[in-house]
Structures are given as C-alpha cells and as structure tokens.
C-alpha cells in the first residue's frame, strides 16, 4: 500500500517486494519494501510459545490489511536475538509466505568488519543497525538503540565494528523500581517539567529520564574519546529514542526505521541471483 492505497495487480507484476522481520526480546518489527521504498511497517509482541500457525496467520493478516498478498512477496529477510522464537517464525514464513528466509547470521555479507573478540557474540540486531547507520549517515558513527536493553555500538571510518556497551533498558529500570521498592508506584516514562521532583511519581520520572540522558551523554563522550576520530555521527533508534534525544547533547539523529534500512541493505548484498 502506498499513501493509503492498496497495491494494484500491475504493481505486483512489476515490483519486487521484500518482507523484513526483526525479532527482538519485547517486540517483532515487520516491514515491507517495494524496491527501496518502505510501504508498510508493523509491530507485534514477542511471545516465545506462539505457534507457527498463529505467527503465519498474523503475517498474512497484516499484509492483507495493506492490500499485499503472500504471493506478492519476492523474498524474506530475518534477524533475531530470540532463538526460541525462530522455529515457529521460520516455519510460518515457509508455510504461509512460501519463501525460505535469508537469516542474518555469521557468513552473511554485511560490509562491516567485526572486531569483536568472538564475532558470533554480537547480536544480529546490532550488526543490522550498524549497516543501516553506515548506509544512511556514513562513518564514523555511534548507534544508540533504546530497546529492551540500551546498547551503544561504534563503527570507525574503515567500517570496522569496534564493539560497544550493553546497559539495562529504560523500561526494565523503571519496572525494577516498581518491583523491588514496595512503596514506589509504576510510572509513565515522560520528560518531567522540573529535574527536582515534588512527588514520588515526578521524582521517579526525573530519575529515569535524566538518569538515562546523563548515561547516554557520558558514555557517548567516552566512546568518542576512545575512537579518536573526527565528525563522529551519533544516531539513536528504538522506542524511546526521540524522548531521550530531546534533552541529550550528543545525539545527532533519531531514526526509528534504522533496523529496517539495515535489513534492506543486507538483503541487497545477499539476494538470490535470478537465473
């Protein structure tokens, strides 16, 4: 669907369509590209015991809502940090979309040189984000992903993935306060009007919001010192990226579709060659 209009049969005949899926710990992000244009994107909750039929019917349903048939899909690419989900996800794609998905895993071309001591330890989502950031913003670049965990990744001018930092995520931290401190309530994560809170809720909101702003700015500052390169771009992605970036001094760009861009780029490097 483009601009709210369903895909026409003529468009189906002339354009390749890629189904891109990012399986995260909290959510599964789904996007469809027609050529290089992202024509639809959706999210579903990550549930480890969901069956392949449930997953497949969900995929067919959201595609159908956008006027896209399973037969319109040319290829599928998947990255995942949740191994228990992948059996049902892979079977769902094969059964309902009738494609063998390209998996972002060791051996797949990415254009990124991974300098981790054990490259297999790097989550595929981090590599996909790095690929997307390099494509859109060039190098050197630091990627901050506000997901279940807050992660920081560094890519130098040579497109070397140097490594990064993994911290507890914002929502995990807020839930930990609620779970472990009996008198503290569950809160909405927002930017408070004042840094000094005058209620339990505003005090917690201030601690979470400004605490993570400070964390981001400090860590990014230290990463830049260690990278020792000029003009390092800092790109943020993930659900709360825009909120934290509103106060951060170091975040240059907020890109909620960075992972989708990375998946498209990796697909273009690895897509099957037509006979």
- The residues annotated with a catalytic role in the active site are 125
Q: How far apart are CA 106 and CA 92, in angstroms?
A: 23
Burial class for 168, CB neighbours closer than 10 Å (0-12, 13-18, 19+):
middle
Q: What does 129-195 look like in DSSP terms, one character per residue?
A: HHHHHHHHH-SSEEEEEESSEEEEEEE-TT-EEEEEEEEE-HHHHHHHHHHH-TTPPP------S-S
Q: What are phi and psi of 226, to 5 degrees?
A: -75, -35
Q: What is the 3-state secondary structure (H, E, C) of 29-67?
A: EEEEEECCEEEEEEEEECCCCCCHHHHHHHHHHHHHHCC
Q: Which long-range contacts (CB under 8 A, 24 or more apart) does 36-40 make?
A: 36/264, 37/2, 38/257, 38/260, 38/264, 39/1, 39/2, 39/7, 39/66, 40/1, 40/66, 40/68
CA distances (Å), 98 to each of 69, 73, 195, 266, in order? 11, 9, 53, 21
């Amino acid at each position: 669907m483009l601009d709210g209009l369903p895909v026409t049969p003529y468009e189906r005949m002339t354009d390749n369509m890629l189904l891109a899926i990012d399986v995260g710990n909290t959510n599964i992000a789904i996007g469809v590209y027609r050529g290089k244009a992202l024509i639809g994107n959706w999210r579903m909750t990550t549930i480890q015991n969901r069956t392949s039929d449930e997953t497949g019917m969900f995929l067919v349903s959201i595609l159908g809502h956008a006027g896209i048939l399973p037969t319109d899909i040319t290829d599928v690419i998947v990255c995942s940090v949740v191994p228990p989900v992948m059996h049902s996800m892979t079977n769902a794609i094969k059964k309902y979309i009738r494609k063998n998905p390209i998996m972002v895993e060791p051996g797949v071309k990415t254009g990124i040189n991974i300098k981790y001591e054990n490259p297999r330890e790097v989550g595929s989502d981090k590599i996909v984000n790095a690929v997307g950031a390099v494509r859109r913003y060039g190098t050197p670049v630091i990627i901050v992903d506000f997901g279940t965990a807050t992660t920081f990744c560094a890519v130098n001018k040579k497109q070397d993935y140097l490594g990064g930092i993994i911290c507890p995520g914002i929502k995990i931290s807020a839930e930990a306060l609620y779970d472990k401190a009996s008198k503290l309530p569950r809160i909405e994560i927002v930017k408070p009007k004042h840094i000094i809170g005058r209620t339990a809720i505003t005090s917690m909101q201030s601690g979470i919001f400004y605490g993570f702003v400070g964390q981001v700015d400090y860590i990014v500052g230290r990463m830049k010192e260690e990278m020792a390169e000029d003009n390092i771009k800092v790109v943020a992605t993930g659900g709360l990226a825009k909120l934290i970036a509103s106060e951060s001094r170091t975040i240059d760009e907020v890109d909620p579709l960075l992972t989708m861009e990375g998946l498209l780029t990796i697909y273009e490097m690895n897509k099957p060659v037509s006979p």
